[in-house]
Structure 1
Amino acid sequence: MTAPGTAPDNDTPVSTFRSSRRVRHWLAGAGVTALAAVLGITLAVRGGATPACAAPPTGNAVHKGKASFYDAGRSGGTCSFPGPPADRLYVALGASQYSGSAACGSYLDVSGPKGKVRVMVMDRCAGCGSSKIDLSDEAFAKIADRSQGIASVTYRAVVNPPLDGGLTFRMKGGASKYWFAVQVGNHGNPLRSVEAKGSSGGFRKAARQVDNYWTVDGGLGPGPYSIRVTDVYRRQATATGIRLVTRQVQRSSVSLVSASPTPSNSPSAPPTPSVAPSPTPTESVAPTTTVEALAGAAPLDRSRC
């Protein structure tokens, strides 16, 4: 347990630490009844429960709000990335836009009093509402003076951002032939679905977890695996030869954004600004996988509450 007045460890998002500390102080004077009443809320905050009406920023919509700043240290945030992007330009979103990790790995263009910056979604901000975002120190300095503390901003999703390299895959520690758990990286647009299959049988749909891993209970055997990834704009790619090697990044050669979506029910994409994206963090790399771009994903459900 972190002592009062000290900073959290590097793997704990600052926003989560602050919220947990406030809850502990409140609970200190509460009785058993109050504890039972808030227990579900506390678990929801720490577990990243998704609000009923939640979705990551997509398409052409421009959002207005406020931005603050924080430092995640060496942590990859609640998105469970190996670390922050090399340029340290990242952002944490409130629960509704973080949407249970659905926003992880996507990009936003944020405009403030001093200019514009492109940031990668890496974290969930427990203290942010639907119109508040928390930028990295480095990102905030590009759009406002740090002395302001909080700045008025507008932001929008980056559709099909240019990326360095293709899709990446990272098997979670503890994954086995009995429990499949993979993180997909360097996809640019928010992901809609991930499906996987082992050396035999058909594709099985993976479940998105709040820590940004996709799991299949019961597992898919020892691998190698084929993994089919679809983004919210119905672009789809299938990677083959993904090995059961945990905590290593396996890189592919084809980007999701280079695949052609089916023509119907696809949101119109704005012109892509010529702003360099945040590089993907580097770590131990497995052999390059074979990837083929596919089209023809099931229509995207664009319904909103």
Structure 2
Amino acid sequence: MTDTAPSDRPENASEADAQPGGPAADRPGGWLSGRRRSKRWLAGGFAVVVAALLGLVLVWQFAEPAACAAGLAAPPTGTTVYKGKASHYDGGDSGGNCSLPGPPANRLYVALGSAQYSGSAACGSFLDVTGPKGTVRVMVLDRCAGCTGGKIDLSKQAFAKIADLSKGIIPVTYRAVVNPPSPGPLTFRLKSGASQYWFAVQVGNHGNPVKSVAAKRAGSSWRAAKRGSDNYWVIDGGMGRGPYSIRVVDVYGNEAVASGITMSPRRIQRSTVRMYGNAPTGGPTPTPTPSAVSGPSASASPTATAPSPTGTTGSGEPETVAGAAGGPASVRVGCG
């Protein structure tokens, strides 16, 4: 009796069957069949690894914009200095996503990413943007759909003041301008299609981001308006025929009330009340801390003027960007 070595072959397989290419090689359980199963397993495992890596890339790519949209969607305010990059574009005579009558007369404007545009909450406010050649003051006019991670899109005229246009994209820092000099009293423009049954108004010359708008008729109570992504404040169901009083409150607590606003869609109605102070137009004013900014309520009747293709907002340019009085400004790599 002789000992035989254990075999991995099926019990009925012959020596010929066991050789690569033999008669049983391609049968279930054969040598070639097992090799093909190994290849299929390896291919499947590789596909799983690739899918996992792709998932990680997608999570990394969209994690920041999602976080910005969920928790940091707000216009630039206060003393925070944001770090990012700037490109340039030409918006022509458009009033951008902010639906303004047109760009500011000096054509110094900016488009913000969706998070900082914040559903039009940033419209009509101002930023000081610092680049390689200096600082420029710009008005928020538009939304930049592709801007994330603190990136902004400047008008060509604004970009040219802080860098050569040929650079294309440059590193910048920027911050909000608190209580910028106003070119005039508050203006109001009712949207095309507005009527006694549907009220939609746009506020101009407010300087700081607007927090809330409310309206009422004589003898009635204030009704809060809802902000639209096109920079109009809407009251569903309308406010009747008017005239109306409109109350505007900005993010720093400044409040102003204008009366005598009429149902005159698309016309710019200019009041005689400013959002804050009575500083003349021209150069910049010192930037206070948000807690120090306040203003009394005021009321005045407006006069109507025709829309201007160059808009109704302008600004001076500061020489430097620095922290507010009382301490250095914080720095943030802002959401777009």
Provide TM-score, normalisation by structure 1.
0.69
Q: 1:52 is matched by which residue type in structure 2?
A: A
Displacement of 1:85 after TM fit? Answer: 0.6
Residue of structure 2 equivalent to 1:69: 88
Residue of structure 1 equivalent to 2:70: 52
Residue of structure 1 equivalent to 2:186: 167
2:128 corresponds to which of 99, 106, 109: 109
1:208 corresponds to which of 211, 227, 231: 227
Q: Which runs of 4+ in 1 moved over 4 A?
A: none
1:131 corresponds to which of 145, 150, 173: 150
Residues in 1 aligned to 2:100 and 2:290: alpha-carbon distance in whole angstroms = 29
Q: 1:283 is matched by which residue type in structure 2?
A: P
Residues in 1 aligned to 2:291 and 2:209: alpha-carbon distance in whole angstroms = 13
Structure 1 stretches lacking a partner, 5+ long: 1-49, 260-264, 270-280, 285-305
Percent identity between the aligned chains? Answer: 65
Check conservation: 2:198, 2:238, Cα contact below 8 A.
Answer: yes
Residues in 2 aligned to 1:283 and 1:161: alpha-carbon distance in whole angstroms = 23
Q: 1:176 is matched by which residue type in structure 2?
A: S
Work out whether 1:192 is the aligned partner of 2:211: yes
Q: 2:159 is matched by which residue type in structure 1?
A: F
Residues in 2 aligned to 1:52 and 1:268: alpha-carbon distance in whole angstroms = 29
1:84 corresponds to which of 95, 103, 123: 103
Residue of structure 1 equivalent to 2:244: 225
Q: What does 1:253-268 correspond to in 2, within 5 Å?
A: 253-258=272-277, 266-268=290-292
Residues in 1 aligned to 2:149 and 2:230: alpha-carbon distance in whole angstroms = 20
Count residues in correspondence.
219
Displacement of 1:52 after TM fit? Answer: 2.7
Displacement of 1:266 after TM fit? Answer: 5.0
2:268 corresponds to which of 226, 249, 264: 249
Q: CA RMSD in A?
A: 1.8
Displacement of 1:283 after TM fit? Answer: 2.0
Residue of structure 2 equivalent to 1:157: 176
Residues in 2 aligned to 1:268 and 1:96: alpha-carbon distance in whole angstroms = 26
Check conservation: 2:267, 2:306, Cα contact below 8 A.
Answer: no
Change beyond 3 A, Cα 1:282–1:60: farther
Q: What does 1:4-43 correspond to in 2, within 5 Å?
A: none
The C-alpha deviation readout for 1:15-67, integer Å capped at 9, x for no partner, is xxxxxxxxxxxxxxxxxxxxxxxxxxxxxxxxxxx933210000100011100
Q: 1:267 is matched by which residue type in structure 2?
A: S
Check conservation: 1:97, 1:130, Cα contact below 8 A.
Answer: no
Q: What does 1:279-294 correspond to in 2, within 5 Å?
A: 283=307
Change beyond 3 A, Cα 1:150–1:266: closer
Residues in 1 aligned to 2:79 and 2:247: alpha-carbon distance in whole angstroms = 26
The C-alpha deviation readout for 1:246-291, integer Å capped at 9, x for no partner, is 10111112211229xxxxx95346xxxxxxxxxxx9726xxxxxxx
1:95 corresponds to which of 105, 114, 119: 114
Provide TM-score, normalisation by structure 2.
0.63
Displacement of 1:164 after TM fit? Answer: 1.2
Change beyond 3 A, Cα 1:130–1:242: farther
Q: Secondary structure at the match of 1:267?
A: helix
Check conservation: 2:94, 2:103, Cα contact below 8 A.
Answer: yes
Change beyond 3 A, Cα 1:134–1:266: closer
Instruction: Tell which has more relative contact order, 1 or 2 (C-alpha 8 A, sep 6+).
Output: 2
The C-alpha deviation readout for 1:193-223, integer Å capped at 9, x for no partner, is 0000123310000000000000000011000
Q: Secondary structure at the match of 1:258?
A: coil
Residues in 2 aligned to 1:142 and 1:253: alpha-carbon distance in whole angstroms = 33
Q: 1:121 is matched by which residue type in structure 2?
A: V
